[in-house]
């Protein structure tokens, strides 16, 4: 029964990741950015944390993707969300649009599949900003979008 429960959770997780990887907004922007890493799972996580810090973000404790969906001994340790925030950017965004807080903290999830392929998955800042239709917020978050891309490039190139 426990194996079936884990299989269902993993199936839902992979379905969600695959669906969001291809989902688009009305302006035809991908809602998620998916990038394969040429490195091992642990090397990718280490490089990701370093790149986040180098881009002036504070890193919060990691979370397993399935954390809270299953007991702590059943989570897949090869699916980790790295959460981070730059409080100056956050404060600026919240001054422009208080509802922008639903996008935070920033998260990049590292997933290793059953054949050892390591992938980084994160929300597309540009696509998320279409939810607010606020040019001032879009301008403020342009820097955040550039930082996300710099972090992903640093980890995967």
Model confidence at 105, in pLDDT bands (50, 70, 90)? low
Q: Which helix (H) or strand (E) holds 156?
A: helix 135-156
Domains of the chain, with CATH numbers?
2-156 (3.30.310.70)
pLDDT computed for residue 101 by the predictor: 78
130 vs 31: CA distance, rounded Å: 10
Say whether pLDDT at 149 is over 80: yes
pLDDT digits (tens, 9 = 90+) for 14-54: 444 444 444 444 456 788 889 999 999 999 999 999 999 99
Q: pTM to 2 decimals? A: 0.77
- Between the alpha carbon of residue 8 and those of residues 27, 51, 63, 79, 92, the distances in Å are 33, 34, 20, 15, 41
pLDDT computed for residue 140 by the predictor: 81
pLDDT digits (tens, 9 = 90+) for 131-148: 888 888 888 888 888 888
DSSP 10: H
């Amino acid at each position: 029964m426990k194996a079936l429960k884990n299989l269902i959770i993993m199936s839902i997780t992979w379905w969600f990741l695959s669906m969001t990887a291809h989902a688009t907004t009305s302006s035809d922007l991908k809602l998620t950015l998916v990038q394969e890493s040429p490195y091992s799972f642990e090397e990718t996580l280490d490089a990701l944390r370093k790149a986040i810090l180098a881009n002036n973000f504070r890193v919060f404790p990691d979370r397993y993707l399935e954390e809270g969906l299953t007991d702590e001994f059943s989570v897949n340790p090869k699916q980790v969300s790295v959460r981070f925030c730059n409080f100056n950017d956050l404060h600026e965004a919240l001054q422009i649009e208080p509802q922008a807080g639903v996008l935070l903290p920033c998260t990049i999830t590292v997933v290793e599949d059953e054949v050892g392929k390591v992938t980084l998955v994160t929300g597309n800042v540009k696509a998320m900003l279409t939810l607010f239709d606020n040019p001032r917020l879009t301008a403020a978050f342009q820097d955040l979008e550039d930082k996300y891309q710099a972090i992903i490039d640093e980890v995967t190139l």
